[in-house]
A = this chain, B = another copy of it.
Amino acid sequence: MGSTRDPDRRDRILDAASAVFAEKGFAGARVDDIADRAGVNKAMLYYHVGDKTALYSAVLLRNFERVRVALDEALATGGSARARLEAVITALTRMVQRHPDHPRMMLREIASGATSLEPEVLAAMLEVVGVVRALIAEGTAAGEFRAIDPVLTHLTLVGAVVFLNATAPIRNRAAALGPGFSLPEPTTDIARFIKEMLLDGLAADRKPGGS
């Protein structure tokens, strides 16, 4: 794995694989397609990265690592639990927009029941989930948030970020069919919407305009 002369090549392969897996899914992805997009020979891909399954896991592991780093940065801003949760929403929204492949791959994993996720990948996911879950629980303990299930709250939050962003293409296709469904709103507005929508339901005092 680390024996590659060109250190960028593995990243290029993972980038290409991430794009193709996100677009077509594991079964629909073609190894030839990934190799072509990465600009490497298919035999080289097998030599360096391993088979299709190993490639898939490697992509997910790298993508979860990116999310973890982004969340750590968001939490490092400090402040109240609410302020940090808002920073988390901003960071997640930015991640989903900069690297849309990851949520697209995970949507497919959720659809399939994650039956083929390797334990290593599952652990990387749980690490990320645990960070947000702990933040919500901390906010509840501090009286900032209502007493509410932290895991369900976290899933609602992630679901909102993913849905509002990942459905953009389907909404644009729909806009061509009928009026009133377009919504090519500036992407930055999505994070603000989620904060209004979820946090004003979360805040213990429910003060209007609290965001």
Task: List A residues at the B interface (Cβ < 8 Å).
Answer: 22-28, 104-105, 107-115, 117, 119, 122-123, 125-126, 129-130, 133, 148-149, 151-153, 155-156, 158-160, 162-164, 166-167, 169-171, 173-174, 177-178, 180-181, 183, 185, 190, 193-194, 196-202, 206, 208
Partner of A152, one of B107, B130, B183: B183
**Interface contact A170-B110, CB-CB below 8 Å:** yes
**Complex-state Cα separation, A125 to B175, whole angstroms:** 12
**Interface contact B105-A111, CB-CB below 8 Å:** yes
Question: A133: which B residues are within 8 A, CB to CB?
Answer: 180
**Interface contact B148-A114, CB-CB below 8 Å:** no
List 16 interface pairs A-B (beta carbons < 8 Å), by A numbering.
A23-B112, A25-B111, A107-B110, A108-B108, A108-B111, A114-B170, A149-B185, A153-B197, A155-B160, A155-B163, A159-B164, A162-B163, A196-B201, A197-B202, A200-B206, A206-B206
- Chain A interface mostly: helix
**Interface contact A152-B190, CB-CB below 8 Å:** yes
Known: A22-B111, A107-B110, A160-B160. 20 other contacts (CB 8 A): A23-B113, A25-B108, A25-B111, A27-B28, A104-B111, A111-B166, A113-B170, A114-B169, A114-B170, A117-B173, A122-B174, A126-B181, A129-B174, A151-B171, A158-B163, A159-B163, A197-B201, A197-B202, A199-B201, A200-B206
For A168, the closest partner residue in chain B by CB is: B113
Question: Shortest CB–CB separation between residue A153 and chain B, in angstroms?
Answer: 7
Question: Shortest CB–CB separation between residue A86 and chain B, in angstroms?
Answer: 14
**Interface contact A129-B173, CB-CB below 8 Å:** no
